[in-house]
Amino acid sequence: WITTNTRAYDVAVHSSGRIPLGIKRKARRVVVTGGAGFVGSHLVDRLISRGDSVIVVDNFFTGRKENVMHHFGNPNFELIRHDVVEPLLLEVDQIYHLACPASPVHYKFNPVKTIKTNVVGTLNMLGLAKRVGARFLLTSTSEVYGDPLQHPQKETYWGNVNPIGVRSCYDEGKRTAETLTMDYHRGAGVEVRIARIFNTYGPRMCLDDGRVVSNFVAQALRKEALTVYGDGKQTRSFQYVSDLVEGLMRLMEGEHVGPFNLGNPGEFTMLELAKVVQETIDPEAKIDYRPNTEDDPHMRKPDISRAKELLGWEPKVDLRKGLPLMVSDFRQRIFGDQKEGAT
Ligand code: NAD
Ligand code: UDP
Ligand code: UDP
């Protein structure tokens, strides 16, 4: 479902700076790469609801039309099937650059493609931002800290990353994307923003995503055992998607380049997470221990002091409040209209 990029919003603004009577105020034109994905589609909802004109650019590797199809027919919404590894010409004011698979299962599927997306894709979107004078926001990741030797992680920490491991296509890819972003900022004066996102969950995550929250929720709903990798003592901090979207928008609209950690500092071992899932969905759910994956970070927890101070942002939805919101979406997608599994 593709539309062209011709619009009535490109009206000239009067040279006085005021908008002449009878001419519509120019809407902000925003590109969201990866906008058909999990985080991107929630961001698009917020941007559309505040009146922006939104262009989603997505190759549908992990994204789905279902995530954005409620906007089809809205003149403020366009969807372009495009791979960001190829150049793209558009006229826009802001670029939220999210295009990149985020789940380890997906980003390890074709690692060369993942690193091309992070490096060439980011280069193209920065080239676009430079040409049209758009503000550019990179969604980087807590994975830039690797298997961290500092805890919790502050933005000033440079990380502990294996450059030749199975995760490197993603974490080294994102580190290079951050470098490119800063070099376009320093060298070409592009207005940039960098967010380092920590583990995020919520409705519209892929059911077969392989990430721990989506796995546990789908498994508990299907009455399968929860697959805990390793001894389950590794930690993560889980952020509900609406908190992240609020943080991304504040970052884009604010005056600070970053990088900013955006995550929920509530820290859980995987066994503790399994317990919350059991309490929320099925207290009888069993645990099935599996071998852990290579280079799995032992712990992760954001220090969000910088975002609190400079963006006035902090997460509002804790795991016990956010999980049920995701469960109802998963239940609907797994069981459809059937009644089984409903509690
Ligand atoms: P997702 O996989 O649901 O979404 C990624 C989207 O990008 C998908 O719609 C996919 O089809 C699209 N895409 C991938 N490669 C592309 C390409 N070459 N060209 C065009 N589109 C492409 O993942 P998500 O969880 O929504 O993550 C969004 C962004 O946030 C990613 O950049 C990810 O690295 C970052 N991030 C997410 C998390 C998290 O926990 N969700 C954590 C850290 C960082
Ligand atoms: N680019 C793009 N859209 C644009 C402008 C540039 O996709 O509107 C791509 C361009 O094809 C190039 C990359 O962005 O591969 C970097 O562009 P830049 O102008 O910074 O570098 P150059 O083209 O001089 O290498
Ligand atoms: N994990 C798990 N069971 C699963 C999937 C993942 O125990 O079914 C663990 C994984 O080993 C890691 C943590 O959960 O320690 C988070 O994994 P995820 O893939 O969600 O995100 P990551 O933070 O590793 O990118």
pLDDT tens for 143-191 read 999 999 999 999 999 999 999 999 999 999 999 999 999 999 999 999 9
pLDDT greater than 50 at residue 19 = no
pLDDT at 4 over 80: no
- For residue 306, pLDDT over 80 is answered with yes
| Least confident range of 18-27, 60-69, 199-208, 224-233 | 18-27
- The rounded Å distance from CA 58 to ligand 1 centre is 10
| pLDDT at residue 13, as a whole number | 36
Question: Is any ligand 2 atom within 6 A of the Cβ of residue 87?
Answer: yes
- Mean pLDDT for 200-219 is 94
Q: What value does the mean pLDDT take over residues 225-245?
A: 96
Q: Which of 120-134, 287-301, 307-321 bottoms out in mean pLDDT, i.e. has the lowest?
A: 287-301
For the chain, the average pLDDT equals 91
Average pLDDT value for residue range 65-89: 97
State yes or no: pLDDT of 11 exceeds 70: no
Decide if 145 is catalytic.
Answer: no
Nearest Cα residue to atom 16 of ligand 2: 127
- Checking if the pLDDT of 40 tops 70, the result is yes
Per-residue model confidence (pLDDT) at position 78: 98
> Which tokens in the block code for residue 228?
């805990």
Question: Distance between CA 114 and CA 121 in Å, rounded?
Answer: 10
User: Is any ligand 1 atom within 6 A of the Cβ of residue 77?
Assistant: no
- Please tell me the residue having the least CA distance from ligand 1 atom 2: 101
Q: What is the mean pLDDT of residues 311-322?
A: 96
pLDDT on residue 6: 32
Compute, in angstroms, the gap from residue 87 CA to the centroid of ligand 2: 7
| Catalytic choice (96, 107, 145, 170) | 170
C-beta of 88 in contact with ligand 2 (< 6 A): yes
pLDDT tier at 24, thresholds 50, 70, 90: low
Distance 127 CA to ligand 1 centre (A): 20
140 Cα nearest atom in ligand 1: 44
Instruction: List all residues whose CB is within 6 A of at least one atom of ligand 3.
Output: 104, 199, 211-212, 215, 227-229, 234, 236, 270, 292-293, 296
User: Is the CB of 178 within 6 Å of ligand 1?
Assistant: no
Ligand 3 centroid – CA 103 distance (Å): 9
Higher-confidence position of 341 and 197: 197
pLDDT above 90 for 342: no
Please name which ligand lies nearest the alpha carbon of 67. Answer: 1
Closest ligand to Cα 130 = 2
- Residue 336's pLDDT band, with cuts at 50, 70 and 90, is confident
